[in-house]
Amino acid sequence: MSEATIGDVARRAGVSATTVSRFLAGQSVRAADTIRAAVEELDYRPSPVARSLRSGRTRSIALVVPDVTNPFFAAVVKGAEAVARQDDYNLCLYNTDENVDREVSVLADLVGRVDGLILAPTVESDEAPLRAHQAGLPVVFLDREIGGSPMFDAVLVDNAGGSRRAAEHLLDLGHRRIAIVNGTKHSTPGRQRREGFLETLKSRGVEPPEAYQELGDFREESGYQSVMRLLALEHPPTAIYVTNNLMTVGALRALHDIGVRVPDQVSLVGFDDLQLAALLQPPLTVVDRPMEEQGALAMRLLLGRLHETQDSAPRRIVLETKLLVRGSTAPPRDPAPIAATRNATAATRHPFHTSHRRPT
Amino acid sequence: MSEATIGDVARRAGVSATTVSRFLAGQSVRAADTIRAAVEELDYRPSPVARSLRSGRTRSIALVVPDVTNPFFAAVVKGAEAVARQDDYNLCLYNTDENVDREVSVLADLVGRVDGLILAPTVESDEAPLRAHQAGLPVVFLDREIGGSPMFDAVLVDNAGGSRRAAEHLLDLGHRRIAIVNGTKHSTPGRQRREGFLETLKSRGVEPPEAYQELGDFREESGYQSVMRLLALEHPPTAIYVTNNLMTVGALRALHDIGVRVPDQVSLVGFDDLQLAALLQPPLTVVDRPMEEQGALAMRLLLGRLHETQDSAPRRIVLETKLLVRGSTAPPRDPAPIAATRNATAATRHPFHTSHRRPT
DNA sequence: CTGAAAGCGCTAACAT
DNA sequence: ATGTTAGCGCTTTCAG
């Protein structure tokens, strides 16, 4: 027994459905009290579906993320959901598993199901969001964008800046043999974190060889494999920058399995904080950023867009990062004088060039 | 330009809307090719909302969890979403933040928006799910139940068994001064983990005093505060069982802040594994269980229910736990002979009774 | 202030 | 095999 309709209420209150509808819309109506009573007695709730059909709105927002079990995206979901519910929207969550095909198929079925879309696209070359947008679906990019998309709203993070901070930190400690474990090559964070890091190194005269530039996929296993390869090199790096949290977990596992001491033998910097990062031995140095806020902001941006009467210019919000220096980074092992000798000989054997730091 | 309707397709194909509808439903139709072409050219997609209004189904499932940022629930979401999408259902996610009011208000608005509900209720006394069920919404309980709910489907975990394993492990190591950090008192896992643990201790003659039974709320901060209190006791426990992952994180932080060595000074067992648990120093001993599976099973149960023609008896699935013994547990510090002396004097000063292990 | 009528897009009866 | 009609529940003209 459920399903009282507006007609039932109208009959009971002795008015027309129209009047009930007006009452529900807050207009002043003579039979207000009678109607209110009828609504209560029947426990009437307007059918959201019928309303949607009439209005063309669903009051639902789709949030499409690569992986909810990534603590960053879990936080994003939490932030976005909280804002959505404040405005009485509900959140449809889709997990793409960093899989472009899945993402494409999800987006293709979204028009008509939701009023808007918050998307963390897997690759920058994805065209599915364009189609969704053309089909009239407002899109906000989250954390990641697609290529040349200044026409879209986006909530991003200063990946390059965060990576710069990480790079400077390692350089300042005296590292020169610095490696990076990159994420998905053609995703925004993958590219920006890589570029921000390498450019900063370069500006200080350090250019990691190919072997020091690992290509991961933002998942734990690739972090593990990457670090395994790095440490198997004849001349392993003295510092490693791992460009996301899950790969950092893998990296830690690898270091642990090999028995490499951090930071004595190798320094480690991660991107994105982890719940236990501060409790590790040593506590992990990471590039941190607001997480729930990022989700909340994206949702706010989108809802604002929906309530807008005429569309204005796309908005881009770029959040700042913060380097949390903890214990996993330290000066490279070789002290200066010895290092000088060693590096001199090493340089002749090595495929990579390590110039001296420029005076700044 | 979007929004081609079935009428548009019909007109273009020179047939009636009904025929197009039949074609879409897979019935054999003379103008099949023409219609197919029209569908393609117009990029026609049936309106989900209109279909819902007609059919009374939404093809949406609500998943209501206390906290998505809890890695356990994040995994559950992932598992549930994957199964849902296989069957072309979408997932509406709601986060209650362990807040009963929020849960009640969410559930109240669910009828008509979704076809079914997977719920991890905050407290066992919650009646909102009953109302939802009476309103015709199939409900599957996940991880937690409400009081006396054998009429509902549920996917649970053997909390008591897991706690028994934890208790036996600590007892076998020789611990007697054993504390527990409980979760929300009236939630299923909160109660069962507590009871399973305490009963096992009791069966072996150990009965922790009140001061050794901390009441947390499944969140990190309460784990921190609880352990702080436990270690401030005149006679702190030699072992602590923390009944969920988030509180375990808090517990670790507390131990770290105070500078207590694990497992030398105190042994620690957590419930639910953490990504970094194995990498901590010492690696954490935990009660582990399937996580994504739990979400996937709940979704399968629910979808099965929806496709069922006539309702059958409620199904309950109880998953098994596994104790992962790692490094955070060890025999209590005091070796036997010294302990004997110490305990003897301690016993006179102590408010709690520690009997000798019964021969079993 | 109120009601009758029409229609959002789709599909199930009921004819043919 | 196909079309006509009607209606899912709601809101919005349009007339009073």
pLDDT in tens, B84-99: 999 999 999 999 998 9
Per-residue flag: A137 CB under 7 A of strand C: no
**Res B23: pLDDT:** 96
pLDDT reading at B317 higher than 80? yes
Average pLDDT over residues B6-10: 95
CA distance A327 to chain B (A): 14
Using a CB-CB cut-off of 8 Å, the residues of chain A touching B256 are: 279
Nucleotides in chain C near protein beta carbons (<7 Å): 1-5, 7-13
Residue type, B270: G
A49–B52: do the CB atoms touch at under 8 Å? yes
Q: Residue B278 CA to nucleotide D11 C1', Å?
A: 59
* Residue % of chain B over a pLDDT of 90: 80
For chain A, domains (ranges, CATH) are 6-55 (1.10.260.40), 60-158+291-320 (3.40.50.2300), 159-288+324-348 (3.40.50.2300)
Per-residue flag: A82 CB under 7 A of strand C: no
Q: Report yes or no: B111 at the A interface, CB cutoff 8 Å.
A: yes
Residue type, B340: A
pLDDT in tens, B150-163: 789 999 999 999 99
Residues in Cβ contact with A293 at an 8 Å cutoff, skipping those fewer than 6 apart:
A79, A319
B77–A91: do the CB atoms touch at under 8 Å? no
B256–A274: do the CB atoms touch at under 8 Å? no
pLDDT reading at B166 higher than 90? yes
pLDDT reading at B353 higher than 60? no
> Residue A233: which of A200, A205, A260, A206 has the closest Cα?
A260
**Res B2: pLDDT:** 55
**Res A351: pLDDT:** 31
Distance, in Å, from the CA atom of A180 to the CA atom of A270, rounded to the nearest integer, reads 10
Structure tokens at A163: 């990576």
**Res B104: pLDDT:** 93
**Res B357: pLDDT:** 33
CA B151 to chain centre: 20
Structure tokens at B117: 């509900």
3-class SS at B347?
helix
Give the count of beta carbons closer than 10 Å to the beta carbon of residue B263.
21
B45–A90: do the CB atoms touch at under 8 Å? no
A253–B74: do the CB atoms touch at under 8 Å? no
pLDDT in tens, A305-337: 998 877 789 999 999 999 999 999 999 986 433
Task: List the 128-147 stretch of B: residues with Cβ below 8 A of A.
Answer: 134-136
Tell me the pLDDT band of A149, cut-offs 50, 70 and 90: low
Listed in sequence order, the DSSP H helices in chain A are: 6-13, 17-24, 32-42, 48-55, 71-86, 100-108, 128-134, 159-172, 188-203, 220-232, 245-258, 292-307, 336-349
- Each as own residue / partner, the long-range contacts of residues B4-13 (CB below 8 Å, 24 or more positions apart, any chain) are B4/B42, B4/B43, B4/B44, B4/B45, B5/B44, B5/B47, B6/B44, B6/B46, B8/B42, B8/B44, B9/B35, B9/B38, B9/B39, B9/B42, B9/B44, B12/B38, B12/B41, B12/B42, B13/B37, B13/B38
Q: Residue A18 CA to nucleotide C4 C1', Å?
A: 10
Among chain B residues 38 through 67, which have CB within 7 angstroms of nucleic chain C?
Answer: 44, 46-47, 50-51, 53-55
pLDDT reading at A224 higher than 50? yes
